[in-house]
Structure 1
Amino acid sequence: MAATLTERYISAVTKSLNPEAQSDVRAELEASIGDAVEARTDQGEPKVDAERTVLTELGDPAVLAAGYADRPLHLIGPKYYLTWWRLLKLLWIIGPICAAAGVTIANMIVDKPVGEIIGQFFVVGITTIVHIGFWTTLVFFILERTGADTGVKWSVDSLPEPQETGAGRGDLIASLVFLGIMAGVLLWDRFIGFVLVSADSVDVGIGLGSQTSAMPILNPELWPWWIGGGLILMGVEAALAIAIYAGRGWRPGFAMLNTVLAIVFAAGALYLLISGRLLNPDFLDFTLGRADVPSEVGRILAVLLAVVIVGVAVWDIIDGWLKTRRAQRAVV
Structure 2
Amino acid sequence: MTAPLTTRYIEATVKSLPAHLQQDVRDELSGSIADAIESHIEQGALPADAEKAVLLELGDPSALAAGYADRPLHLIGPKYYLTWQRLLKILIVVIPLCAAGGTAIAKGLAGSSTIDVLLGAAGIALTTAVHVAFWVTVVFVILERTGTDLGLAWDPEQLPDPEAPSGGRVELGFELGFLALGAGALLWDRFIGFFRPGNETVSILNPGLWPWVISALLVILAVQAALAIAVHVKGRWTLSLAVINTVIALAFAAIVLTLISRGELINPEFVDRALTPNNVTIDADGSSVLTTLLTLGIAAATAWEIFDSWRKALGHNSPNRR
Band of TM-score, shorter chain: 0.5 to 0.7
Q: Is the 8 A contact 2:94 2:307 kept in 1?
A: no
The two structures have a TM-score, normalised by structure 2, of: 0.66
Residue 19 of structure 1: how far off its partner (Å): 1.2
Work out the CA distance in 2 between the residues paired with 1:129 and 1:148: 26
Q: Does residue 315 in structure 1 map to residue 305 in structure 2?
A: yes
Residue 46 of structure 1: how far off its partner (Å): 1.0
Work out the CA distance in 1 between the residues paired with 2:92 and 2:311: 19
Q: Does residue 98 in structure 1 map to residue 98 in structure 2?
A: yes
Q: Over residues 274-327 of structure 1, what are the superposed CA-to-partner deviations in whole Å (9 max), with x where a residue is unaligned?
A: 8545683244433125xxx7955149927954971895599289759959x97x
Aligned residue pairs, count? 277
Residue 165 of structure 1: how far off its partner (Å): 2.8
Indicate the residue corresponding to 1:35 in structure 2.
35
Q: Pairwise mapping of residues 69-218 of structure 1 onto structure 2 (< 5 A)? A: 69-165=69-165, 190=194
Q: Is the 8 A contact 2:13 2:62 kept in 1?
A: yes
Q: Cα 1:300–1:98, aligned 2, differ >3 Å: closer, same or farther?
A: farther
Work out the CA distance in 1 between the residues paired with 2:259 and 2:128: 33
Residue 127 of structure 1: how far off its partner (Å): 0.9
Indicate the residue corresponding to 1:6 in structure 2.
6
Work out the CA distance in 2 between the residues paired with 1:177 and 1:82: 40
Indicate the residue corresponding to 1:197 in structure 2.
none
2:280 aligned residue (275, 287, 299): 287
Q: Is the 8 A contact 2:97 2:125 kept in 1?
A: yes
For the residue of structure 1 that corresponds to 2:232, the secondary structure is coil
Work out the CA distance in 2 between the residues paired with 1:131 and 1:313: 20
Q: Is the 8 A contact 1:105 1:303 kept in 2?
A: no
Counterpart AA for 1:315: E
For the residue of structure 2 that corresponds to 1:112, the secondary structure is coil
How high is the sequence identity, in percent, across the aligned residues? 39
Larger radius of gyration: 1
Long gaps (5+) in structure 1: 194-216, 223-228, 327-331
Residue 155 of structure 1: how far off its partner (Å): 1.3
Residue 10 of structure 1: how far off its partner (Å): 0.1
Indicate the residue corresponding to 1:250 in structure 2.
232
Residue 149 of structure 1: how far off its partner (Å): 1.4
Q: Over residues 169-200 of structure 1, what are the superposed CA-to-partner deviations in whole Å (9 max), with x where a residue is unaligned?
A: 98589779989x9999x99x94799xxxxxxx
Q: Is the 8 A contact 1:109 1:300 kept in 2?
A: no
Work out the CA distance in 2 between the residues paired with 1:115 and 1:221: 21
Could you tell which deviates more after superposition, 269-278 or 74-83? Answer: 269-278
Could you tell which deviates more after superposition, 60-69 or 141-150? Answer: 141-150
Residue 251 of structure 1: how far off its partner (Å): 1.6
Which fold has the larger relative contact order, with Cα–Cα distance below 8 Å and residues 6 or more apart in sequence? Answer: 2
Indicate the residue corresponding to 2:204 in structure 1.
219
Indicate the residue corresponding to 2:319 in structure 1.
none
Q: Cα 1:190–1:221, aligned 2, differ >3 Å: closer, same or farther?
A: farther
For the residue of structure 2 that corresponds to 1:250, the secondary structure is helix
Long gaps (5+) in structure 2: 208-213, 317-321
Q: Is the 8 A contact 1:41 1:50 kept in 2?
A: yes
Work out the CA distance in 2 between the residues paired with 1:85 and 1:170: 33
Work out the CA distance in 2 between the residues paired with 1:87 and 1:148: 17
Q: Cα 1:317–1:5, aligned 2, differ >3 Å: closer, same or farther?
A: closer
- Which stretches of structure 1, 4 residues or longer, exceed 4 Å deviation after superposition? 166-179, 181-184, 252-256, 269-275, 293-296, 309-314, 316-323
Q: Pairwise mapping of residues 54-73 of structure 1 onto structure 2 (< 5 A)? A: 54-73=54-73
Work out the CA distance in 2 between the residues paired with 1:4 and 1:158: 57
Q: Cα 1:300–1:51, aligned 2, differ >3 Å: closer, same or farther?
A: farther
Q: Over residues 119-150 of structure 1, what are the superposed CA-to-partner deviations in whole Å (9 max), with x where a residue is unaligned?
A: 32222111101110111011111110111112
